[in-house]
Amino acid sequence: MGAIARRRVLKFLAASPLLGYTAAGRLLAEESLDAIQLPNFLIKSPEQALDVFDFHSVAKHTLPPAHYGYLATGTDGNETLAANRRAFKDLYLRSMRMADTSDVSLGTTLLGEPLESPIVLAPVASQGAFHPDAELATARAAKTQGHLLILSNVATKSIEDVIAARGQTVWFQLYPTNKWDTAKMMLERAERAGARVVVLTVDLNSSSNRVLLGQFIRTDDRDCSSCHGTGSVEDFARMNPMYSGSGATFADFDTPDMTWDYLGKIRGVTSMKIVVKGIVTHEDAASAIEAGADAVYVSNHGGRAEASGWGAIESLPEVVAAVDGRVPVMVDSGFRRGTDIFKALALGADSVCIGRAYIWALAAFGQPGVEKVLEMLNAELSMVMGQVGARSIADIGPQYIGVRR
């Protein structure tokens, strides 16, 4: 193939959805018309990782197709999933020179809780699908690396066991159901266990069209009934121990009638602080605060909630403006690098939550993998802060960020 023809092929690939993870390795688009073919290489230990995507490659290679599909899926044509990553490219960093960054600090606070890093482990359900140690491995990694952990109430391990593994309390994420007694039971149990914060997820009140998941499921020829059962109350409780004794099934998760009054109901049964997760507009941010939220959490569920085609970090500025410093603002969906995290902090987020990045590592290597991802992201964030001239999390502001027009 001649040089001109080769460039035309590579130009096509750079613009093609074929560009991504392949059996031969990752193809990365360059600013030029050429692309770099990376060698086919799966890391054999966490120490070999160069970035979080190394763990993705191992997880994809290791997990059963249906389990990987559950982790990878977005909704519809994955428009929002793609937008979460694409949106970072429209933001650039503005570096301030000649600043003393010999002692960069990641320390901060969130709802009165001191944190060693603004990077928080987001709630991810059913971690037993990715590693036998499931949420216990994640909790131990959070303990070792000093990170806040938010536990999904659809976890495969109980909150009591997870808190014991972490050695201190966790935040408790709540998916509401259409049976208030179920929510009340779990809120009371979480508070008894020691949780001081409940994170109410409000972006999945109706189902979502996870086409990619279905495409992976139909390629998986295993008999999954021995693990997942038949969908009975007993099977549901076995897979989701927080629901033990509730009589709940997946059919209970449609909550189309939930309104902002739900926060008042929570206030009536618990003293835990309330974070509202799934906010993507300034209108809902204002409503959340009016309803008594202690923090607002910007999220589109990692592209799994709706096919808006709008990245979470694109929603962040309008939410920050509406909140206007009255409560903390958290954000997740699509964060993979220290530069991503810095951009969110510069736009006004108080903390950044990661999900898939640490689950890839959990699937690949268990607790050591999760520890390595947290170590890498902290190091990357510290490096970026040094590059731009920010000594502390409090120093990071809009002066360090620009938007391409």
Q: What is the pLDDT of residues 173-213, one digit of tens each?
A: 999 888 999 999 999 999 999 999 999 999 988 788 899 88
Q: What is the pLDDT of residues 115-137, one digit of tens each?
A: 999 999 999 999 999 999 999 99
Q: What is the pLDDT of residues 26-49, one digit of tens each?
A: 444 333 445 567 778 999 999 999
Amino acid 9: pLDDT: 34
The stretch 213-223 carries a mean pLDDT of 87
The stretch 63-90 carries a mean pLDDT of 94
Residues 6+ apart with CB under 8 A from 340: 88, 313, 334, 352
For residues 367 and 249, the model is more confident at 367
Mean model confidence pLDDT for the chain: 89
**1: pLDDT strictly greater than 50:** no
Q: Which residue has the tokens 């689950």?
A: 359
Could you confirm whether domain 92-403 is CATH 3.20.20.70? yes
Highest mean pLDDT among 36-50, 244-258, 391-405: 391-405
Distance from chain centroid for Cα 283: 23
- The active-site residue out of 56, 67, 131, 301 is 301
CB 217 within 8 A of CB 65: yes
For residues 2 and 70, the model is more confident at 70
* Biggest CA pair distance of the chain: 73
Instruction: Supply the pTM of this predicted model.
Output: 0.90
HEC per residue, 130-145: CCCCHHHHHHHHHHHH
- For the chain, what are the domain ranges? 1-40, 92-403
Nearest C-alpha neighbor of 320 from the set 342, 298, 352, 292: 298
Neighbour order of strands in the sheet with 197-201: 119-121, 351-354, 329-331, 295-298, 273-279, 197-201, 171-174, 150-151
**12: pLDDT strictly greater than 60:** no
- In the chain, DSSP finds a helix count (H) and a strand count (E) of 16, 15
Is 301 a residue of the active site? yes
CB 278 within 8 A of CB 201: yes
Amino acid 229: pLDDT: 67
Q: What is the pLDDT of residues 298-357, one digit of tens each?
A: 999 999 999 999 999 999 999 999 999 999 999 999 999 999 999 999 999 999 999 999
Residues 6+ apart with CB under 8 A from 17: none
